[in-house]
Structure 1
Amino acid sequence: MPTFRSPSPGRAAALALVVAATAYAIALSVLARDPDFGIVEPLFLFAMLGVVFPLLAWLCTLKPQRPATPLPEPRQLPRVVLYLAAFALVVLGWGFSSINAHFPDEPAQSIVQLVVKLVTMVLLPAVLFLGWKFGAKPTLPWQRLLLTFVVMSLAYLAMQSVFGRGLVTLRELAPSAATLAWAIPACFGWQTIEAGLCEEVLFRRVLQEKLAIAGGSQVAAVAWASLLFGLAHAPGLWLRGGHLMEGVAHATPAWAIAYSIVMIAPAGIAFGVLWARTRSLWLIVPLHGMVDLLPQLAPFIRAWSGHA
Structure 2
Amino acid sequence: MHSRPASRRATFLALTVTGASYAIALAVLARDPDFSLVEPLFLLALLGGVFPLLAWLCTLGVSRAQIAPLHEPHQLPRVLLYLAGFTLLVLGWGFSSINAHFPGEPAQSLVQLVVKLVTMVLLPAWLFLGFGPGARATLPPQRLLLVFALMSLAYLAMQSVFGRGLVTLGELGPSAATLAWAIPLCWLWQTLEAGLCEEVLFRRVLQEKLAIATGSHVAAIAWGSLLFGLAHAPGLWLRGGHLMEGVAQASPGWALAYSIVMIAPAGIAFGVLWARTRSLWLVVPLHGMVDLLPQLAPFIRAWSGT
**Shorter-chain TM-score tier:** over 0.9
CA-CA distance at 1:283 after TM superposition: 0.2
The SS at the match of 1:104 is: coil
| Letter aligned with residue 279 of structure 1 | R
Task: For 2:302 and 2:277, locate their aligned partners in 1 and report how far apart those are by CA, in whole Å.
Answer: 35
Aligned residue number for residue 41 of structure 1? 39
The SS at the match of 1:170 is: helix
TM-score after normalising by structure 2: 0.97
Q: Could you give the per-residue CA deviations for residues 43-64 of structure 1, whole angstroms, max 9, x where no partner exists?
A: 1111100000000000000112
Task: Answer with 95-104 or 71-80: which moved more.
Answer: 71-80
Q: Could you give the per-residue CA deviations for residues 16-47 of structure 1, whole angstroms, max 9, x where no partner exists?
A: 01111100000000000011111100011111
Aligned residue number for residue 24 of structure 1? 22
CA-CA distance at 1:69 after TM superposition: 3.5
| Letter aligned with residue 8 of structure 2 | G
CA-CA distance at 1:247 after TM superposition: 1.6
| Letter aligned with residue 224 of structure 2 | A
Aligned-residue identity in percent: 81
Aligned residue number for residue 252 of structure 1? 251
Count of aligned residue pairs for this structure pair: 304
CA-CA distance at 1:133 after TM superposition: 2.5
Q: Could you give the per-residue CA deviations for residues 69-120 of structure 1, whole angstroms, max 9, x where no partner exists?
A: 4442111100000000000000000000000000000000000000000000
TM-score after normalising by structure 1: 0.96
Task: For 2:7 and 2:58, locate their aligned partners in 1 and report how far apart those are by CA, in whole Å.
Answer: 24
CA-CA distance at 1:137 after TM superposition: 1.6
Matched, 1:10 2:47: no
Aligned residue number for residue 208 of structure 2? 209
Aligned residue number for residue 49 of structure 2? 51
The SS at the match of 1:8 is: helix
User: Is the Cα–Cα contact under 8 Å of residues 70 and 213 in structure 1 kept in the other structure?
Assistant: no
5+ unaligned residues in a row in structure 2: which ranges?
A: none
User: Is the Cα–Cα contact under 8 Å of residues 68 and 136 in structure 2 kept in the other structure?
Assistant: no
Q: Could you give the per-residue CA deviations for residues 113-150 of structure 1, whole angstroms, max 9, x where no partner exists?
A: 00000000000000100001362221111111111000
CA-CA distance at 1:302 after TM superposition: 0.2
Task: For 1:102 and 1:71, locate their aligned partners in 2 and report how far apart those are by CA, in whole Å.
Answer: 43
Task: For 1:218 and 1:91, locate their aligned partners in 2 and report how far apart those are by CA, in whole Å.
Answer: 28
The Cα RMSD (Å) is: 1.4
Task: For 1:60 and 1:230, locate their aligned partners in 2 and report how far apart those are by CA, in whole Å.
Answer: 25
Aligned residue number for residue 181 of structure 1? 180
| Letter aligned with residue 47 of structure 1 | A
User: Is the Cα–Cα contact under 8 Å of residues 31 and 37 in structure 1 kept in the other structure?
Assistant: yes
